[in-house]
């Protein structure tokens, strides 16, 4: 067990969840926005989600003081979800049909969330994982972010035979980071660094006239599964293998950093003016989390410690519920009333219109597929028309005809049912674990879902703009790194004083 001192930090205003007698309308209120998204954590590894042994005291407290969307759905993998957050539309309509091979690049025709927020006077920053294109026109400092402190590719140290590649030889400890277009050498663990950089930037901008949008996007707990020693060793002492100890250790390290963030926001008296959102990018990864049904380790008294995915079918990469359901906590002191659950389905495509509405900005015409969640945040019982949400894994072979994969590895979801792979229908209210196929009992609904999905696919197909893109002959981060190395070198990053 970890020391209780971390818990004692939060006997504070943000942890008390003081309810409002009557909340003011949220649209156009222009709060600061902090959006945190973890990589491959998924829904299960949070204490309040019923996990039997992970220790996430800060996330548990955030849960206790937040409005929680309990059926928040994203894409099965990372870059697709990120593009949906940035545009308000399904990933494939952004050209994102993979996580590598030039198919992770978000179309330059899209207007991004930070670009829209800037029209409402926001200053914007990203800290961590971008993963929507490593070529210069696709980089975040060219797409609306005033401050950018990022690694390349889909993970620190990744490099593929295309443009998707991080700085050469990069590691989770002491990584080279691209900071506003130039590389710097850091000291420390990547997650700690991203939160430190974000906090330093918030400290700089918090007293200005403009609200801020801080997008804190950890590459953890994505593999390779490497955690700080104290976080890793808690699990190796319980008998976990190195990879699993790294995965769960990274999550507990994230929890510590969320605590650090909340403590500083409280110290700076920002919690009344700041919306804090926590989520993950896709379902829990398989390798690092262990094999379902097989113990990872055991307590001193012999209790077996089993992997946990909240009883859901599917992990990262799957179009089943477990591959796409993630935490979604919205915390805003004094504005959202008592903490509560909202069971209405919501999705990655909804975050863009929600934040744009909060900012009082205007959505780009013809782009957004999602809905603002403000009516539900203001009144969980608000009238809300049911809808279909579409998921496709993508990832067909490069050069293949996407239409041949239309009816594979996809899902259609409404409030009650999940239709998967054209063959299975599950009643998610009666059977959340997807154990019983009820497709023969609801032929009219299945036909309606098929028609809606087919129409959506046909509208999406022309927007898959990266399918014929040639592989880049160079790795832009490698080229820029080598050029900077030869022309003055890579300076040390100076951490901010908080």
Domain positions in the chain are: 27-378, 389-463
For the 27-378 domain, the top CATH level (class) is alpha beta
CB contact at 8 A, 131 and 108 = no
pTM of the prediction? 0.96
Residue 14 has what pLDDT? Answer: 58
Residue 337 has what pLDDT? Answer: 87
Residue 339 has what pLDDT? Answer: 96
119: CB partners within 8 A, 6+ apart: 361, 362
CB-based burial, 331-357: b 16+ in 10 Å, e otherwise: bbbebbbebeebebbbbbbbbbbbbbb
Residue 107 has what pLDDT? Answer: 99
Residue 287 has what pLDDT? Answer: 87
Residue 23 has what pLDDT? Answer: 56
Matching CATH topology for 27-378 and 389-463?
A: no
Is the domain defined by 389-463 classed in CATH 1.10.10.10? no
* Mean pLDDT, each 10-residue run in order, the chain (498 residues): 39 51 80 99 99 98 98 99 99 99 99 99 99 99 99 98 98 99 99 99 98 99 98 98 98 99 98 98 97 96 97 98 99 95 99 99 98 97 97 97 98 99 98 99 99 99 97 98 98 98
Determine if residue 394 is left, alpha or beta; phi over 0 gives left, psi from -120 to 50 gives alpha, anything else beta. Answer: left
Write down how long the chain is: 498
Residue 76 has what pLDDT? Answer: 99
Strands (E), 51-108: 67-69, 72-73
């Amino acid at each position: 067990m970890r020391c209780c001192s971390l818990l004692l930090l939060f006997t504070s205003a943000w942890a008390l969840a003081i309810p409002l007698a009557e909340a003011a309308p949220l649209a156009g209120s222009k709060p600061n926005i902090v959006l945190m998204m973890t990589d491959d954590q998924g829904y299960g590894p949070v204490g309040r989600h019923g996990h039997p042994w992970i220790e996430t005291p800060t996330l548990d407290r955030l849960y206790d003081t937040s409005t929680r969307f309990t059926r928040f759905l994203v894409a099965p993998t990372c870059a697709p979800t990120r593009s949906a957050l940035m545009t308000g539309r399904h990933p494939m309509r952004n050209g994102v049909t993979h996580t590598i091979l030039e198919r992770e690049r978000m179309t330059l025709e899209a207007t991004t969330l930070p670009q829209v927020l800037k029209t409402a006077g926001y200053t914007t920053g990203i800290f961590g994982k971008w993963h929507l294109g490593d070529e210069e026109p696709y980089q975040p400092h060219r797409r609306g972010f005033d401050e950018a402190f990022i690694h390349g590719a889909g993970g620190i140290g990744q490099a593929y035979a295309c443009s998707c590649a991080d700085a050469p030889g990069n590691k989770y400890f002491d990584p080279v980071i691209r900071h506003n277009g130039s590389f710097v050498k850091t000291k420390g663990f990547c997650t700690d660094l991203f939160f430190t950089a974000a906090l330093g930037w918030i400290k700089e901008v918090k007293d200005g006239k403009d609200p801020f949008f801080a997008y804190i996007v950890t590459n953890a707990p994505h593999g390779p599964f490497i955690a700080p020693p104290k976080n890793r060793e808690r699990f190796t002492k319980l008998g976990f293998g190195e990879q699993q100890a790294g995965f769960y250790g990274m999550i507990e390290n994230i929890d510590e950093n969320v605590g650090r963030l909340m403590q500083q926001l409280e110290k700076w008296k920002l919690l009344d003016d700041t919306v804090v959102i926590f989520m993950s990018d896709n379902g829990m990864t398989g390798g690092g989390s262990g094999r379902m049904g097989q113990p990872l380790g055991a307590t001193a008294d012999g209790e077996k410690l089993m992997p946990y995915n909240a009883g859901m079918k599917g992990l990262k990469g799957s179009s089943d519920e477990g591959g796409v359901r993630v935490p979604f906590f919205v915390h805003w002191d004094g504005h959202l009333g008592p903490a509560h659950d909202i069971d209405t389905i919501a999705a990655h495509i909804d975050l863009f219109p929600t934040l744009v509405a909060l900012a009082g900005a205007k959505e780009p015409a013809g782009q957004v597929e999602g809905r603002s969640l403000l009516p539900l945040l203001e009144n969980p019982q608000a009238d809300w028309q049911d809808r279909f949400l579409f998921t496709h894994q993508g990832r067909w072979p490069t050069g293949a005809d996407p239409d041949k994969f239309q009816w594979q590895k996809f899902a259609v979801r409404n409030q009650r049912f999940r239709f998967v792979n054209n063959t299975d229908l599950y009643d998610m209210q009666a059977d959340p674990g997807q154990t019983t196929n009820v497709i023969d009992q609801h032929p009219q609904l299945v036909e309606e879902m098929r028609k809606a999905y087919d129409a959506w696919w046909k509208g999406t197909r022309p927007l898959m703009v990266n399918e014929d893109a040639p592989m880049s002959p160079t790795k832009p981060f490698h080229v820029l790194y080598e050029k900077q190395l030869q022309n003055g070198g890579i300076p040390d990053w100076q951490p901010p004083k908080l």
